[in-house]
Amino acid sequence: MFIPKHYKQKNILKMETLQKTVNGFKSQDIMDTVGAIQSNPEIAKFKFRARNKWISGGHNRSTIQDFYGACREDETRKEPFVFDNSEPPILLGNNEGANPVEFILHGLAGCMTTTMMLHAAANGISVDHVESSLEGDLDVQGFLGLDETIRNGYQKIKVNFKIEGDLTEEEKQKLISFAYMSPVFDIVTNKVPVSLSLNA
């Protein structure tokens, strides 16, 4: 059977594109994941969990291991991730770990970066280097109950990205637009219903 040369070249090019790795993501993996979700939206529903125990003073410890996703409980993590939360001495702690509002900055930075790189890979945009710095303004009079007009959390968060690669200014701006799609960006910029309960 005769196969036209241009048809062969087109298929070879398609195969090479699917096998290509961009920003650490395989194009085939991205397409397979998107395709699976499009065929069964239930796959896209996740439940993430964290457990926490108080140790002493401002020191407490969180463990993260199991989660539900892709229609099943995940069993890939054999050991939990452990995060110590504390406060600096000026906030009555002993620096056993970063404080929780600093973890928010860590979560926001990590999520925006991952989101940016994933969407960049899906769009065929290769990036050499990305780093960010974050700063959050917080007035502790709020959570200490000293001034009801001051909110308990951050008043504002500033994020600065440094992006390097063979990129046009337009492509860099597109990468920034991808960061706005971050789940943690959504969490910190919109109200999320949080329910508290007490085990008897």
Does 57 reside within a domain?
A: yes
The CATH number of whichever domain residue 151 belongs to comes to: 3.30.300.20
Residues 60 and 86 in one domain: yes
Residues 72 and 87 in one domain: yes
Q: Tens-digit pLDDT profile for the chain (200 aa)? A: 444 555 445 444 444 555 688 999 888 888 899 899 999 999 999 999 999 999 999 999 999 999 999 999 999 999 999 999 999 999 999 999 999 999 999 999 999 999 999 999 999 999 999 999 999 999 999 999 999 999 999 999 999 999 999 999 999 999 999 999 999 999 999 999 999 999 87
Residues 78 and 132 in one domain: no
Residues 91 and 111 in one domain: no
Domain boundary, last residue among 82, 97, 112: 97
Q: Over the range 42-78, which residues count as b (16 or more CB within 10 Å of their CB) and which as e?
A: eeeeeeeeeeeeeeeebbbbbeebeeeeeeeeeeeee
Residues 86 and 107 in one domain: no
Does 64 reside within a domain?
A: yes
Query: What are the structure tokens assigned to 26, written together?
Result: 């395989």
Residues 106 and 176 in one domain: yes
Residues 41 and 119 in one domain: no
| pLDDT at position 16 | 52
| pLDDT at position 1 | 45
Residues 105 and 77 in one domain: no
Residues 119 and 169 in one domain: yes
Does 136 reside within a domain?
A: yes
Domain count, the chain: 2
| pLDDT at position 200 | 72
Of the candidates 135, 131, 123, the residue with the CA atom closest to the CA atom of residue 178:
123
pTM of the model: 0.87
Residues 82 and 109 in one domain: no
Does 9 reside within a domain?
A: no
Using the Cα atoms of residue 88, residue 89, residue 91 and residue 97 in order, give the sign of their dihedral: positive
Residues 104 and 48 in one domain: no
Which residue range forms the structural domain that includes residue 139? 98-190
Residues 74 and 130 in one domain: no
Q: Cα(110)–Cα(118) distance, rounded to whole angstroms?
A: 12
Domain boundary, last residue among 74, 97, 120: 97
| pLDDT at position 20 | 80
